[in-house]
Structure 1
């Protein structure tokens, strides 16, 4: 593990007022529905041109917390015609480890309304990682370069190793192929399958993300759905920890660093009793290193203008966004 700059430890939350640099725009709606998803999408859709990929975490079989399929179906059919859901196989031995198992799980979970491309089904390719300290290139599913643009449509939640899963995790782990790329991120050669953790894991995952967003350039957009935010990832399926964090809403941006920072800020802005479990998951895994490393790599801004789409598109802050959240009732 290389030495970190002061204040960039992944167990340390940096308040907004202590950040510096430019601001990006992040849009926000409390409307957790297909209509809300479409409202947010329309604000960041201009560069999703040509053959569009929608990068989802489609989840293990019967996972209770994934983004509702009807929302995604309405969005894709109304706003992103001829788009394709894209995924890759998993590194762990579960319901999506092989392409055959993955296809069965997609059917069980209802992802049957649109084409689904398992991007590493026919092999892998290497994409350059510009400015990385762990990688010069990353192995991704070979089909990734078949697309002209990509929407990262992310269920924001906790994660057992990453601390939290936002747009960065959706792309960094989700586009890396199941055998080579994910092993590059998770494992030292010859050691335990999950031998890389904390700051180094966050940095490796983030460099993997950078390979994908550098490839697509301006033809990327990001949505984080802050609903059913278990401390567990959707990769844990029905074994996910019960949700205790209140639902918040939907965020959208053209800046991956800004949208993940805004999502984390909203969690930290909640009352202690509401955010305790998710904050503990983020900090105990050193997951906040994702945010500072994205900024270091020039992937976006950690400062943002948060635009409230529900109240005349005025600027608000994270505390204002979450002031009316109610305890999760299941």
Structure 2
């Protein structure tokens, strides 16, 4: 059977809730809501006000992890003190309970027995405090992964600082300063992301849902302090219980768009071999690239 992906061209907070409800999945217990909280200086990330009705619907806790940037890369989310301060500055703590899952060690280690590159994933230990997860992704480009969507939120997004370094270096180092000298090729890096994503999906199996918002479509991620402005018009909101299908559907909506910015966006995706993350995740059984798009 093809995975169901729900789609609407209307991008409003209320429509996001409607798309979640269309999936027919009620997330049980304590719900972790994974967002991208936005790097300091970034202009494209989706604000807490936009996500507020959705987070309140599931009575969720916003979860994030520290980044693996070295000092030279800029940004303030690479250590707990300044990351917490930024979460406050961006308004997340004004509206929600916020959990920086790797604020205090030690990390937890989840095995990836069938991983293509990684055999284990390191995550912020607080992830084990949650019964289910809602992944709210801002779909856009990415300087290293080509694009960012549901799979990136599962992989890089849920990994601790050491875990991020392991993914970026394809398992060579968990030192965040060394990882940029040993950054993996654009074949094994997407595969390492798929490996890490698979461990999170396995953990929350049947209790995880995904919403991708195709808005502010820059070739750069919300992790960039200075991001390029959007190159395409907004496309819509998608929802699915399958992270592979939802990312594939987003990619197809870009590819089949007649927007004049499409080629620029896809140059970023293709030059980083971004679609290989989707291919690798499908190969691992994380989800299916075959889907039924249900427009609402």
User: Please, what TM-score do these two structures have when normalized by structure 1?
Assistant: 0.83
Kept in 2, the 8 Å contact 1:47–1:218? The answer is no
- What is the correspondence of 1:1-330 to structure 2 with a 5 Å cutoff? 22-44=1-23, 46-77=25-56, 79-81=57-59, 83-92=60-69, 93=71, 94-112=75-93, 113-123=95-105, 124-178=107-161, 180-187=162-169, 188-189=172-173, 192-193=180-181, 195-237=183-225, 239-271=226-258, 273-309=260-296
Give the CA deviation at 1:108.
1.2
Q: Distance in 2 between matches of 1:74 and 1:300?
A: 28
Give the CA deviation at 1:197.
2.9
Kept in 1, the 8 Å contact 2:47–2:90? The answer is no
Kept in 2, the 8 Å contact 1:53–1:147? The answer is yes
Give the CA deviation at 1:137.
1.4
Q: Distance in 2 between matches of 1:235 and 1:97?
A: 11
Q: Name the stretch that deviates more: 265-274 or 102-111.
A: 265-274
Kept in 2, the 8 Å contact 1:244–1:274? The answer is yes
Kept in 1, the 8 Å contact 2:131–2:207? The answer is yes
Number of aligned residue pairs: 284
Kept in 1, the 8 Å contact 2:245–2:289? The answer is yes
Q: Distance in 2 between matches of 1:35 and 1:47?
A: 17
Structure 1 unaligned residues grouped into runs of 5+: 1-21, 310-330
Residue number in structure 2 paired with 1:12: none
Kept in 2, the 8 Å contact 1:161–1:197? The answer is no
1:80-120 C-alpha deviation (Å, 9 max, x unpaired): 12x10000000004211111111111111111210110111
Q: Distance in 1 between matches of 2:23 and 2:277?
A: 23
Kept in 2, the 8 Å contact 1:169–1:209? The answer is yes
User: Please, what TM-score do these two structures have when normalized by structure 2?
Assistant: 0.92
Give the CA deviation at 1:194.
5.4
Give the CA deviation at 1:130.
3.7
Structure 2 unaligned residues grouped into runs of 5+: none
Give the CA deviation at 1:45.
5.5
Q: Please identify the structure whose Cα radius of gyration is greater.
A: 1
Aligned in 2, Cα 1:247/1:194: closer, same or farther, shift over 3 Å?
A: farther
